[in-house]
Amino acid sequence: NAAENLKRTSFSILLLLSTRHVTSSMNVIDRCWRDQSNWDIDRQRLVVCSVGLARKMQQNRGRGVTAYTVTDPSDDPVRPKPGTLRYGATVLPGRVWITFQPGNMHIRLAQPLFVKSFTVIDGRGADVHVAGGAGIVLYEVSNVVIHGLHVHGVRAQPPGQVVRPGGAVQNMDASAGDAIRLLSSSKVWIDHNTLARCEDGLLDVTLGSTDVTVSNNWFHDHDKVMLLGHNDQHVADRRMRVTVAFNRFGPNVNQRMPRIRHGYAHVVNNFYDGWREYAIGGSMGPTVKSQGNLFIASTPDSANVTRRTPVGHAAGKDWHCHSSGDSFENGAVFKQTGSRVRPNYNRHQAFSAVSAGEVRSLTKDAGALRCFPGAAC
Ligand SMILES: *[C@@H]1O[C@H](CO)[C@@H](O)[C@H](O)[C@H]1NC(C)=O
């Protein structure tokens, strides 16, 4: 009996130690909620954990938020049925918090899914794949959180009808096959998603979108990863401000992590596990503050972290790209240009970057997490 007790005690001590260890190796966002074993009861805690330019997502919590569970993986882009993702994300009025029935769910969207303002899509506790069909669109919305989804295999779609926030059904042009697109949207937090193998981009922030935090995502097996700023002419993107933090890029990625036009990006504490053309690209006078990232080149021929894009385009000469505290392995080369830049964070956005040496461990759980009720996630 005594031996049994001793065994139990040492087992609890071991558990305690390993929990401590997990907590201490979490980044500032994860540390805020992942060690809470009641995360599934107090789901709203998540939205006070965001940092960076999206700030805290306070508007997405409180008594007035409608809880909605997705139980039906089917999709009707015009008349979505209650129980489907599209019904909760586009049609249901008010502030909405969407979760998914536990287990595996595969949703093939027949047309892009238009997410309305004040919506949280929370994949924790389920294994949710938005795959093989259209992607997710945020158009002229604000206060949106997308957390814990796997989005992959998104394909170009022909024109068709689709319901928009507010309930109007509109004709939709053909879509290119992006996983997640932000158009003219602000205050958006994209956290802990796994994005891969889509026909076009994995994440686009365009048409004057701003105040966005992209954190803890895992982007892999893809060509054009993240586009910030739609085209050279779109000067509204000068006000675009995006934080890219604690993400894992790679393996098997080619370019745009991100590619930025016009605006400002703070790229901090990300893990770059190889790339082919370049990691960070810019044109049209954007400002990039690269801080505390770990860049591991895959081959000597793919060692340039930075690229002014398109190469040889005179208008793109003037970009400001500054590296501070980044770590370079396997011959990775970062070319700094322009004047020194710093994050213009206010006290609601600020967080301290960790050293690049900690990035590998702080991004090891990037992507959608597997969380179970009653246990730390
Ligand atoms: C890397 O950058 C340098 C100068 O910045 C350039 O001369 C070289 O061609 C680039 N290498 C590749 C493979 O693009």
Per residue in 199-220, pLDDT (tens digit) is 999 999 999 999 999 999 999 9
Which domains does the chain show, CATH number per domain?
A: 2-61+141-157+180-362 (2.160.20.10)
> Which of 55, 256, 307, 308 is flagged as catalytic?
256
DSSP track, 298-340: SSGGG-B-EEESSTT-GGG---EEEEES-EEETT-B---BSS-
Q: In terms of Cα–Cα distance, which of 316, 317, 258 is closest to 290?
A: 258
Q: Which helix (H) or strand (E) holds 23?
A: helix 2-24
| pLDDT band per the 50, 70, 90 thresholds, residue 364 | very high
**Who lines ligand 1 at CB under 6 A?**
301, 304, 335
How far does residue 338's CA lie from ligand 1's centre (Å)?
18
Average pLDDT over residues 159-186: 95
Per residue in 22-70, pLDDT (tens digit) is 446 899 999 999 999 999 999 999 999 999 999 999 999 999 999 999 9
How far does residue 348's CA lie from ligand 1's centre (Å)?
39
How far does residue 307's CA lie from ligand 1's centre (Å)?
8
* 169 vs 22: which has the higher pLDDT: 169
Query: Which residue among 304, 308, 333 has the greatest number of ligand 1 atoms within 8 angstroms of its CB, and so is best to mutate?
Result: 304
Classified as helix, coil or strand, 25 is coil
**Residue 340 has which token pair?**
């020194």
Residue nearest to atom 13 of ligand 1 (CA): 301
Minimum-distance ligand 1 atom for the alpha carbon of 278: 14
Residue nearest to atom 8 of ligand 1 (CA): 304
How far does residue 315's CA lie from ligand 1's centre (Å)?
19
| 197 noted as active-site residue | no
Q: In terms of Cα–Cα distance, which of 190, 261, 247, 257 is closest to 222?
A: 257
Residue nearest to atom 10 of ligand 1 (CA): 304
- Contacts of residue 31, defined as CB under 8 A and 6 or more positions apart, other chains included, come to 23
Q: In terms of Cα–Cα distance, which of 120, 259, 246 is closest to 202?
A: 259
pTM above 0.85, yes or no: yes
